[in-house]
């Protein structure tokens, strides 16, 4: 799979890495809950430092890597926006 740029280019720069290092001991101790689903994150379970779905500069906290973080990203990526109107609505009113 081709890379999509550096970690910094993808939004995971020094600030992200620092926050993740700060949270790692909490996750490793089994004390972290997934901010997205509220369930515990097991110490041996892969986890991501999750960010807000609408603002990537806002970090929400640890979350399950696959079933929560990446699944949410896939849902967002795969959602189709409503089609744009092709023409203004027709005026069907009649003057009697």
pLDDT tens digits, one per residue of 36-64: 899 999 999 999 999 888 888 889 999 99
Domain for residue 8, yes or no? no
In contact, 40 and 32? CB cutoff 8 Å: yes
**Helix or strand run (H / E) with residue 74:** helix 71-78
Domain of 25 in residue numbering reads as 14-76
* Residue 3 confidence (pLDDT) above 80: no
> Residue range 1-19: average pLDDT?
74
Reply yes or no on whether the pLDDT at 13 is more than 80: yes
Considering the domain boundaries, does residue 94 fall inside one?
no
In this prediction, residues 75-88 reach a mean pLDDT of 61
Asked if residue 25 belongs to a domain, the reply is yes
* 91 belongs to a structural domain: no
- Domain membership flag for residue 92: no
Beta bridge partners of 51: 59
Residue 49 domain flag: yes
Asked whether residue 3 is assigned to any structural domain, the reply reads: no
How many CA atoms, within 13 angstroms, populate the side-chain half-sphere of residue 41?
30
How many independent structural domains does the chain possess? 1
């Amino acid at each position: 799979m081709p890379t999509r740029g550096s970690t910094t280019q993808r939004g995971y720069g020094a600030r992200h890495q620092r926050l993740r290092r700060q949270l790692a001991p909490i996750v490793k101790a089994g004390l972290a809950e997934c901010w997205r689903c509220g369930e515990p994150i097991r110490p041996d379970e892969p986890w991501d430092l999750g960010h807000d779905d609408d603002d990537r500069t806002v970090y929400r906290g640890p979350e399950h890597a696959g079933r929560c973080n990446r699944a949410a990203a896939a849902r967002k990526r795969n959602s189709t926006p409503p089609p744009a109107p092709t023409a203004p609505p027709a005026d069907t009113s009649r003057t009697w």
